[in-house]
Homo-oligomer: A and B are copies of this chain.
């Protein structure tokens, strides 16, 4: 059993953002106590003196392609089409399960250093991805990125049966890559499968203006309206990016209680646009945040996403009060967790999974202290994350990683793969 004491605790339960001087006990994979020091306290394996620092729920990355770390800084500052078709796609053809395994581990290190404890991961070779996460002790939600012909439906059903039982750290979400990479029969089949299994479905949705225009040309409706017509969204789920939803789309998101996972850094760097998050929030739509892959961000850093999520709204709404820090912090923690189906990892409360971070407040960017929550969104960065715990295990502490493999080994493998693929 592990005890955290002598610090501040931000539980983020419900709508609360107040900070208390509680202590927190973790037993196995779960939080078992949050409250004042007790006289009947048990024997602890480890007692962690927070020294006034902040214990809070970890960030959850609700959209990523983890193994894309090999393309970090490989093809920046290029027009979107050239980036995707001439650079990204040809190199992805060279991936193998072994390569995805090692590259995913490289991303896991970065997640941990940024206080992220789970990613919703859509990429090639999901078995290799899941195994890398299991071996590191990291939590993952494998999201199918199926595309192409109706054959994909079988894969989706096979994956569903396989991944939902694989490991406590792994869960599965039905999904497909995007409207523009799926044949109509596949989309139709996915709708039927989702109904059969009562499964939520996630996909890239309305990331660019062009994507929506092409879908309208093909089907006479937007991607969201097409998915709705095919019953894909009958059991919930949601969209990654959602930069260009029209009013009818928004109404479908409301009615179906769909999640929007915004990726502001990726949308900015690829010049896709700014998702109107304030408009979505006003409609009561559940919002989460994702980093997208390292090829288009390029960091896997939830502090960056939070900062952009608020300041881009302030810019696009021409209103400095738009999208306050508290809302954005919820997006990066419970908002993402709920999109990912990780409802037991969303806050600090007895019975919840112990997915926690310690934030160093004794750094110049967090001083002097007027408001810790605003500091987290407007001035904190990776540097402030001094501990990351996943499922009750400390995987990152004071700059060191405990992921069952050496950091040098993970870097060397990633660089070897870069040489094999990119050069």
Chain A contact residues, CB within 8 Å of chain B: 69-74, 76-80, 83, 106-107, 109-110, 112-113, 265, 268-271, 273-274, 294, 297-301, 303-304, 307-308, 310-312, 314-315, 317-325, 362-365, 367-372, 374-375, 378-379, 381-383, 407, 411, 414-415, 417-418, 422
Contacts and interface: CB of A to CB of B under 8 A. Distances in A.
A114 to B, nearest CB: 8
Contact of A73 (B112, B314, B374, B418): B374
13 contacts: A72-B368, A74-B370, A77-B321, A77-B323, A79-B321, A113-B364, A270-B314, A301-B381, A304-B307, A362-B411, A364-B407, A381-B381, A383-B383
Contacts of A378: 72-73, 76, 269, 297-299
Nearest to A107: B364
Contacts of A307: 304
B270 A320 contact: yes
A273 B382 contact: no
B76 A364 contact: no
A89 to B, nearest CB: 16
A110 B315 contact: no
A367 B319 contact: no
Contacts of A112: 364
A298 B383 contact: no
B322 A271 contact: yes
B325 A77 contact: yes
B414 A367 contact: yes
A407 B360 CA distance: 14
Contacts of A70: 368
Nearest to A315: B268
Contacts of A365: 110, 113, 299-301, 382
B113 A418 contact: no
Given A79-B321, A265-B311, A378-B73, A368 B411 contact: yes
Contacts of A271: 314-315, 317-320, 322
Given A113-B363, A271-B320, A307-B304, A414 B312 contact: no
A209 B220 CA distance: 41
B314 A268 contact: yes
A322 B271 CA distance: 9
